[in-house]
Structure 1
Amino acid sequence: MQKVGDFTDQLNKSYIGGKWVDGQSGRTYDIQDPYDDSIVTTVSLANKQQIESAFKEAEDAQKKWAKTSAEQRRKVLIKAINYLEDNKEEITQLIIRETGGTGLKAEVEFGFGLSDMKDSLKMVDEIYQPKDYSSQTPNKQNRVYRLPLGVITSITPFNFPFNMATRTIFPAIALGNGVVHKPDAQVGLVGGQIFAKAFEEAGLPAGVFNSILTDVQECGDEFFTNPHTDFISFTGSTDVGKHISKVTGGTMKQLALELGGNNPLLILDDADVDQAVNIATFGKFMHNGQICAITNRIIVHRNVYDEFVKKYVERVKQLPVGDPKDPNTVVGPLINKQQADKVMGMIEKAKEQGLTVAVEGERNGNVISPYVFVDVSNNSSLAKNEIFGPVAQVIPVETNEEAIRVANDTDRGLSAAIVTSDLEKGERLSLEIESGTTHVNDMPAVLESNVPFGGVKNSGVGRFGYDWVVEEFTTTKWVSVQKEQLPYPF
């Protein structure tokens, strides 16, 4: 088996129908290291005709793949997983270079992805295995089967590209589906092409998995509207999610959309303040705040507010900032100049609105050192928007009930967390927060592969995670067998 490092020049091509092909758009794209703008590789972007070809290849290949045995699918998946594990060092280095994430972030992301992949091995037994149901008709056998759905469109973002891909790609293939995948071109290698290489090495039949390096200028809505796709799995912004819902309206295509969040961390009046500081620090600045489920608003009861703010400010000021390739770095670069400009614009607007700055950061290229705003109103522009950067905001409340009201005063509902010494109270209040997940004495950005993950309100529809992804990526079929002849009235 050859290593990832031997195929750097190959991974910068699209993978369509089992072949590595250059994009035919006539345009190229430089994948750059967000820290120093050095070029990781240059890719030729695929055009719309190549995308159409990928969907047709996937549809044709899926019909045969759907008929394979559970053991056949399991063997291919195991080989692909082994390939990725054997190349873990090279992959984590790619995560650091392409995403600008730290070594810790790369390890966490690879670990989450590995968990998703290994869970998919159990999913191969979920299709074609009937479940019997009773019948009111004499001598009738009712059976319900799960069958492969068809071709899955997978579209993943720049922030956690390896993990966001594994949670769709591996379950889809385990359940007998075909996949056409589009990683964000900024992280095209670790977000897509590394999986193409793994499946090629594992002997996955040509066309079952396709991964396209392209951009919106070339593809338009093709990944959403192509007639050969049955399901769209998308992780990204709320605006794009709404667009997908609009352009697929009336097509009967199924959707799983994990969109943006405005995630609250509630620190109640009985919280352990030191632990709350730990949670608020890691849960805000992990991967520089570029996580959909990251803490966006820190809502603190007035009884512990002053102590929390003092200790939190001291902690944040100590966070190491700089090159993510330095193992000591905690806060590195944002993904690109445009994102850094956007975050700085939010900071300047917050200052113009008179919000109090307790920690003043600074910008150096794409690196923004942490900012902390305190005494923030939930009606401010800072509190109303998903920041997606290393900017913390602390909102005071007078009661635990007000904390819940403030937490729910948003049009999004991806994740949330509550810090309290009363676990029973924490669990009870968690049910009052309008979010897809709520965690007691942890941060909002928690992910496990065997439980459902997804949002409510404008944070999306559908759920990832086993068993829920099995429901998403299969279709149910009722088969009845009448064992003896029935008398009919006419």
Structure 2
Amino acid sequence: MEQFEKLNKSFIDGDWVEGASGRSYENLNPYDQSIVNEIPLATEQQLEESYLKAKEAQKQWAQTPAEEKEQVLSKVAKYLDDHREEIIAIITRETGGSVIKANVEVDLTIGLVKEAINMPKELDKVEEVDAMVEGKVNKIHRIPFGVITSISPFNFPMNLSMRTIAPAIALGNSVVHKPDIQTPLTGGSIIARAFEVAGLPKGIFNCILTDLEEIGDHMLTTPHSHLVSFTGSTPVGKHIGETAGKMLKRMALELGGNNPFIVLEDADVDRAVDAAIFGKFIHQGQICMIINRIIVHEKHYDEFIEKFVERVKDLPSGDPTKEDTIIGPVINEDQADQAMKIIEKAKQDGAKVALEGKRDGNLLTPTVFIDVDNQSELAQTELFSPIATIIKAESDEQAIEFANDTPYGLSSSIFTNDLSRGEDLALKIESGMTHINDQTVNDNPTIPFGGTKESGVGKFGNPWIVDKFTITKWVSIQKEFRDYPF
């Protein structure tokens, strides 16, 4: 673990470079406030240098044979797997995530890299399409996009960084990446080390450890990158859309969610309770796909609440490095303060508390609200904390209406014993993903991951990300000279 904690520098053009701002950031363990490491912050000038190096290096990488790209990615996957236990230890210390969460994140990250190994040969495929002009051959090529800007969040930093980085590099692009400064190791430095050890040529992957005070909107406005990949909040996503959109840049934005978990009239309540507890409280609710509203048919409402609360009150909380801990700390004091404000405001507005949580520093034990009005501020807020809201629906149809009554549309789930009807209803939910008889937190490198409405733009996952991270180019060959009308 110590070898990773020493990685406190930015990775620029294949070298570990100390941030030149004169300012530093203390990377704190959110559980006990101990210092994981201290980061000298990079400057806007160093960021610009990264883009210039990435732009130059990408030209050669684009021409590199697919087999060489595959070998680099294979070595990255092996490196991460070989250092699994050390990485898990860093994830628990840096993000406050449980050992369960850390294992899930490492598995997802390695899975993304392994799937990216299948992508380099996509650049070698050439499609021929019919031509309307006699003697013409139309060919469709995929070529690398160029330099891709990557910005990732604090909650699943390694996974949500790698789902941009690995496909981008596999498809012949270079990357300038900025992880959330609260998770610099798992979001950036360990990834940089893996690619360094794997032999990735200099300049193809650059990781900048800095904050907005130093760089402002430079990652959005730089003329050296025409694609921004961002995972984070909807307000920030809107700012990125407005700023980068003025320059007609391509964007991949995975944003916030208000994800419904629906228990229909014919559902198995015990199975629904099991799924709801996992889908609400993994990583303290700090996941874009997390269950935000539990909508239960009135037939099962009282039974669901009784069983849910009985289970939730016994969830182990505390030090996330301990194997049995389920509820660890939220990422920082501001996040904890925000959660407490939500709780107090909901109480003032008359929401009924079925389970009262407690706060100890950044550690919040679960709070459960029941009889929640779907139109209330509580129900319409992305909670991003261990706060559960349970809403009663008078019918299955009303449950679907409640589910759709939000500006978000990321993930959703339905519990039912009628799988055919469940699939029909799934198509009526306004979200990019719906899971039948499962909870809302699901991911896979071969599915179209992404939302609708204010939950994002574009899809991650193979092959959808291939379209996003390459340029489709039409090349026509006139094999017989044409006769023109003038």
TM-score (normalised: structure 1): 0.98
Residue number in structure 1 paired with 2:246 = 250
Residue number in structure 1 paired with 2:20 = 24
Q: Does 1:313 align with 2:323?
A: no
Q: Does 1:463 align with 2:463?
A: no
Per-residue CA deviations over 1:187-232 (Å, capped at 9, x if unaligned) read 1011101111111111111111000000111111011111101110
Residue number in structure 2 paired with 1:367 = 363
1:50 to 34, 37, 46: 46
1:188 to 181, 184, 189: 184
Instruction: Look up the equivalent residue of 2:337 and give its one-letter code.
Output: D
Residue number in structure 2 paired with 1:74 = 70
Mapped contact 2:9–2:40 kept (Cα < 8 A)? yes
3-state SS in 2 of match to 1:434: coil
3-state SS in 2 of match to 1:479: strand
d(CA) in 2 for partners of 1:234 and 1:386?
18
d(CA) in 1 for partners of 2:435 and 2:296?
16
Per-residue CA deviations over 1:79-111 (Å, capped at 9, x if unaligned) read 222212111111111111100001100000111
Residue number in structure 2 paired with 1:439 = 435
Residue number in structure 1 paired with 2:109 = 113
Residue number in structure 1 paired with 2:59 = 63
Deviation of residue 445 (structure 1)?
A: 1.1
My pick for the range that moved more, 74-83 or 319-328, is: 74-83
d(CA) in 2 for partners of 1:119 and 1:249?
30
Instruction: Look up the equivalent residue of 1:195 and give its one-letter code.
Output: I
d(CA) in 2 for partners of 1:486 and 1:164?
51
Residue number in structure 2 paired with 1:200 = 196
d(CA) in 1 for partners of 2:246 and 2:341?
38
Q: Does 1:97 align with 2:93?
A: yes
Mapped contact 2:448–2:459 kept (Cα < 8 A)? yes
Mapped contact 2:275–2:438 kept (Cα < 8 A)? yes
1:161 to 119, 141, 157: 157
Q: Does 1:226 align with 2:222?
A: yes
2:128 to 126, 132, 135: 132
Mapped contact 2:143–2:472 kept (Cα < 8 A)? yes
d(CA) in 2 for partners of 1:453 and 1:78?
23
d(CA) in 2 for partners of 1:293 and 1:205?
35
Instruction: Look up the equivalent residue of 1:132 and give its one-letter code.
Output: E
Residue number in structure 2 paired with 1:142 = 138
Sequence identity percentage: 55
Residue number in structure 1 paired with 2:479 = 483
Instruction: Look up the equivalent residue of 2:5 and give its one-letter code.
Output: T
d(CA) in 2 for partners of 1:184 and 1:396?
37
Per-residue CA deviations over 1:242-291 (Å, capped at 9, x if unaligned) read 11111123311100111110000010011100001001100100101000
Q: Does 1:6 align with 2:37?
A: no
d(CA) in 2 for partners of 1:243 and 1:6?
37
d(CA) in 2 for partners of 1:190 and 1:302?
43
TM-score (normalised: structure 2): 0.99
1:291 to 258, 280, 287: 287
d(CA) in 2 for partners of 1:25 and 1:248?
25
Deviation of residue 118 (structure 1)?
A: 0.4
d(CA) in 1 for partners of 2:485 and 2:392?
73
Structure 1 stretches of 4+ with a deviation exceeding 6 A read none
Mapped contact 2:413–2:439 kept (Cα < 8 A)? yes
d(CA) in 2 for partners of 1:301 and 1:446?
24
d(CA) in 1 for partners of 2:317 and 2:73?
39
d(CA) in 2 for partners of 1:452 and 1:243?
24
My pick for the range that moved more, 73-82 or 311-320, is: 73-82
Per-residue CA deviations over 1:425-463 (Å, capped at 9, x if unaligned) read 110001111111111111111111100111111111111
Structure 2 counterparts to residues 327-476 of structure 1, below 5 A: 327-476=323-472
Residue number in structure 1 paired with 2:265 = 269
d(CA) in 2 for partners of 1:228 and 1:265?
42
Per-residue CA deviations over 1:27-72 (Å, capped at 9, x if unaligned) read 0001111110000000100011111111111111111111111111
d(CA) in 2 for partners of 1:8 and 1:250?
39
3-state SS in 1 of match to 2:11: strand
Instruction: Look up the equivalent residue of 1:153 and give its one-letter code.
Output: T
d(CA) in 1 for partners of 2:253 and 2:61?
26
3-state SS in 2 of match to 1:112: helix
Mapped contact 2:367–2:387 kept (Cα < 8 A)? yes
d(CA) in 1 for partners of 2:34 and 2:372?
38
Deviation of residue 162 (structure 1)?
A: 0.7
3-state SS in 2 of match to 1:126: helix
Deviation of residue 5 (structure 1)?
A: 4.0
Deviation of residue 168 (structure 1)?
A: 0.4
d(CA) in 2 for partners of 1:198 and 1:305?
49
Instruction: Look up the equivalent residue of 2:11 and give its one-letter code.
Output: Y
d(CA) in 2 for partners of 1:337 and 1:393?
23
Residue number in structure 2 paired with 1:178 = 174
Deviation of residue 137 (structure 1)?
A: 2.2
Per-residue CA deviations over 1:300-358 (Å, capped at 9, x if unaligned) read 00011111111111011111111111111110100011100000110000111111100
Unaligned runs of 5+ in 2: none
My pick for the range that moved more, 136-145 or 440-449, is: 136-145
Q: Does 1:15 align with 2:11?
A: yes
d(CA) in 2 for partners of 1:8 and 1:221?
28
Instruction: Look up the equivalent residue of 2:426 and give its one-letter code.
Output: S
Instruction: Look up the equivalent residue of 1:184 and give its one-letter code.
Output: D
Deviation of residue 294 (structure 1)?
A: 0.2
1:7 to 1:109, Cα distance in 2 relative to 1, 3 A: closer
My pick for the range that moved more, 383-392 or 131-140, is: 131-140
d(CA) in 1 for partners of 2:360 and 2:191?
34
Instruction: Look up the equivalent residue of 2:294 and give its one-letter code.
Output: I
Deviation of residue 8 (structure 1)?
A: 3.3
Mapped contact 2:4–2:185 kept (Cα < 8 A)? no
Deviation of residue 7 (structure 1)?
A: 5.1
